[in-house]
Structure 1
Amino acid sequence: MRTVLTTVADLAVLLFAVTSMLSVGLTHSARQILGPLRDLWAVARALLANFVLVPLLALGIVRLWPLDRPLEAGLILVAMSAGAPFLIKLSEVARSDVALSATLLVLLLPVTVLYAPIAVPRVLPEAEVSAGALAVPLVLTMLLPLAAGLLLNSRWPDPARRWGPVARRVSTLALVLIVLATTLANIPTIVTLFAEGAIVPAMLVVAGAFVIGYLLGGRDRDARAVLGLGTSQRNIAAATVMATQGFVDNDTVVMVIVTSLTGFALLFPVAAVLRRRERVPAA
């Protein structure tokens, strides 16, 4: 049963990534997605938050709250992996700028591919990380669908606008499957990590990452929300690739999965709060 649930979760992650990025491309223009990258100061803040401050936060937390080495490695891998497709859904829930979320992903994904193989072995000397192994799934499941959506939108805008909401609904269904299948497949492990207190460092990393991103988001409300959510929702796909590729102990992968579930549990309520705050000025 666990094997079936794991397979369902893996397929749902693939479906979610593709349909989420495709929906953004179908409903936005390339100018909307790429334009914000001209703001070099905002780009610098996003890179600082995701590739300097969050990894340092994780390293500080595991020093204050020691874990077994495999669990510690899993948490650090998550902290060093940025750019997750779940940001699109979080931005939709928060009613923030979805196009800006895609912009952030376009920035963070290539940097993660270049950054992780260099930085991870310096922090975790036992790890072996391949840039190619990271790049292929991220490009095929995220950047390529986004590019396809943008192309379709530029050539055939009317059909693209009709299909965009369909892709968004499919991504929502896939997200539900991910959460249910992943949770059911890992209930014993989740219970064990709760009992051992290992879930606390994961919660601290997710919460602290949100605060870092939100504070560095600038004055614009949408930018603060997007950077806060984008910084706290780490790239679980990249972290999982590194965990399975570079570590023998399965507990490293388990910690990556548990941290991803922690992110779901914390960030969707945060997105809902941001949505309510957005309604207050309008009222």
Structure 2
Amino acid sequence: MAKGDTAFSVGLMVLLMVVTIFYVPIALPLFLSGVTIDSLDIARSLILLMLFPLALALSVRARYEEVASGLPPLMTQASNLSLLVLFLAFFVVYISDLIGVIGSIAIIAAVIFLLISFVVGYFLGGSAGATKRVLALGTAQRNLSAALAISALNFTDPDVMVMIMVVALAGFILLMFIGGELGKRAEASIETFQEHGKTLRDLAR
């Protein structure tokens, strides 16, 4: 949607998954006292839910390009359905806790956190527009799988799970909107560049 560098985004996603396995067990106890992290459980969750499906998809694409070209619509529908089921189940299980979040500063804090992350990623994304957009969105996007694994293993307070889902939902809505706007601006810039090029060619003639 943001008209970013797709190949770079895949590389960034894989890098972030691998780094998370080693980084989170070291960093999290420094911020939250009394928290124990099982890096094997985190690694297992990330590998099974993200890294393995990605490797499988890349393998299918490399070996069976014709089959792979017809799968994106089906995979998109399956992904959207899974996301819908996840959020519906969350609302059913944590509805009372979610109501308590409404009117608090939790949602505002989540939005501010995501926007700051986006800005940091954007300005550290180099000079190429396609790369800047990917790094901005990648920095703002939270690793939901790792967060859920850590929450389930270390916390009994339902507010922890609620806050994770609030950040995930806020990020999904916010970044979808921002990504769409970035894509429109990128397309507008390309069209303007093409129009200028056409004008120059016409003048040259």
> What's the TM-score once normalised by structure 1's chain length?
0.62
Q: Is 1:130 the counterpart of 2:35 in the alignment? A: no
Indicate the residue corresponding to 1:84 in structure 2. Answer: none
**Greater shift in the superposed pair: 273-282 or 192-201:** 192-201
Deviations 1:179-207 (A, max 9, x none): 45545654443332232222222111111
Q: Return 5+ residue gaps in structure 2 as ranges.
A: 192-205
Secondary structure, counterpart of 1:126 in structure 2: coil
CA distance in 1, matches of 2:151, 2:67: 40
Q: 5 Å matches for 1:95-110?
A: 95-110=3-18
Q: Do 1:218 and 1:224's aligned partners in 2 also have CA atoms closer than 8 Å?
A: yes
RMSD: 1.9
Deviations 1:35-89 (A, max 9, x none): xxxxxxxxxxxxxxxxxxxxxxxxxxxxxxxxxxxxxxxxxxxxxxxxxxxxxxx
> Higher Cα Rg: structure 1 or 2?
2
CA distance in 1, matches of 2:91, 2:178: 20
Q: 5 Å matches for 1:44-63?
A: none
CA distance in 2, matches of 1:186, 1:266: 22
Percent of residue pairs identical:
35
Indicate the residue corresponding to 1:277 in structure 2. Answer: 185
CA distance in 2, matches of 1:103, 1:271: 19
Q: Do 1:114 and 1:131's aligned partners in 2 also have CA atoms closer than 8 Å?
A: yes
Letter in 1 for 2:126: G
Q: 5 Å matches for 1:222-241?
A: 222-241=130-149
Q: Return 5+ residue gaps in structure 1 as ranges.
A: 1-92
Indicate the residue corresponding to 1:217 in structure 2. Answer: 125
Letter in 2 for 1:260: A
Q: Do 2:17 and 2:46's aligned partners in 1 also have CA atoms closer than 8 Å?
A: yes
Indicate the residue corresponding to 1:189 in structure 2. Answer: 97
Indicate the residue corresponding to 2:63 in structure 1. Answer: 155
How has the CA–CA distance of structure 1 residues 144 and 128 changed in structure 2, closer, same or farther, with 3 Å as cutoff? Answer: same
Q: Do 2:29 and 2:36's aligned partners in 1 also have CA atoms closer than 8 Å?
A: yes
Work out the number of aligned pairs and report it: 191
Deviations 1:138-182 (A, max 9, x none): 101211111112222222222222224432332233334444554
CA distance in 2, matches of 1:250, 1:116: 21
Deviations 1:223-273 (A, max 9, x none): 111111111111012111112211232211221111111112211111111
Indicate the residue corresponding to 1:200 in structure 2. Answer: 108
Indicate the residue corresponding to 1:252 in structure 2. Answer: 160
